[in-house]
């Protein structure tokens, strides 16, 4: 489908407000012509509050990052975004709203890794309850009843 230069077609279905332009990185690989308007690499955002980012290294080269300014946990491996867990924190409860794995990395249990890392961090802090809004997170808690005490009672 031909388009005018500068128009971005929303072809990446997994993009959300929390992706902060990462969908354009994926789309950049789909665009035959390179343009200054289409990002092809993830750059450092100007003005990012580095103090608001918590990083932990997991086994097998994975890095779990709590991006507080974006309200999400990210799982990266070798510098590539693998999985994301969006959340909302109201000061008492953390609502885990969406677990998502980039399509090329699906089927390897990476969503479970990011959920497990986030739950471990929340549990270690000990000052919040969890509201499992996302169906995947709810299923994860059913499969791991040892963490059920962390869930908010309704």
Return the half-sphere exposure (C-beta side, CA atoms, 13 A cut-off) of residue 134.
20
pLDDT reading at 30 higher than 60? no
Domain range spanning residue 114?
47-149
Q: What is the pLDDT of residue 44?
A: 43
Is 58 or 67 the better-scoring residue by pLDDT?
67
Overall average pLDDT of the 7-22 stretch? 46
Mean pLDDT confidence for 4-28:
46
Residue 41 above 50 pLDDT? Answer: no
User: Per-residue pLDDT for 77 more than 80?
Assistant: yes
Answer yes or no: is 122 within a domain. Answer: yes
Q: How many C-beta neighbours within 10 Å does residue 118 have?
A: 22
Residue 96 in domain: yes
Asked whether residue 138 is domain-assigned, the answer is yes
Output helix, strand, coil percentages for the chain, rounded to the nearest 5.
Answer: 35, 25, 40
Cut 0.85: pTM above it: no
| 135-143 and 110-125 helices, crossing angle to 10° | 70
CATH number for the domain harbouring residue 56: 3.40.630.30
Q: What is the mean pLDDT of residues 57-67?
A: 81
Please state the domain count of the chain.
1
Does residue 65 lie within any of the structural domains? yes
Helices (H) and strands (E) in the chain, counts: 3, 6
Is the pLDDT at 143 greater than 90? The verdict is yes
% of the chain exceeding 70 in pLDDT: 63
Strands (E), 19-134: 53-57, 62-67, 72-77, 80-89, 93-101, 129-132
Residue 138 and residue 132 in contact, taking contact as beta carbons nearer than 8 Å: yes
Q: How confident is the model at residue 66 (pLDDT cuts 50, 70, 90)?
A: very high
């Amino acid at each position: 489908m031909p388009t005018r230069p500068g128009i971005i077609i929303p072809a990446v279905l997994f993009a959300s407000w929390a992706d902060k332009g990462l969908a354009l990185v994926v789309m950049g690989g789909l665009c035959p012509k390179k343009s200054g308007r289409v990002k092809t690499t993830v750059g450092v955002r100007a003005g990012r509050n580095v103090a608001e980012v918590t990083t932990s290294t997991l086994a097998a080269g994975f890095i779990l990052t709590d991006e507080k300014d974006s309200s999400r946990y990210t799982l990266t491996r070798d510098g590539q975004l693998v999985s994301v867990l969006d959340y909302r924190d109201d000061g008492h409860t953390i609502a885990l709203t969406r677990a998502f794995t980039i399509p090329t990395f699906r089927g390897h249990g990476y969503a479970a890794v990011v959920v497990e890392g986030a739950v471990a961090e929340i549990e270690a802090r000990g000052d919040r309850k969890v509201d499992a809004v996302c169906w995947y997170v709810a299923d994860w808690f059913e499969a791991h009843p040892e963490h059920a005490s962390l869930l908010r009672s309704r």
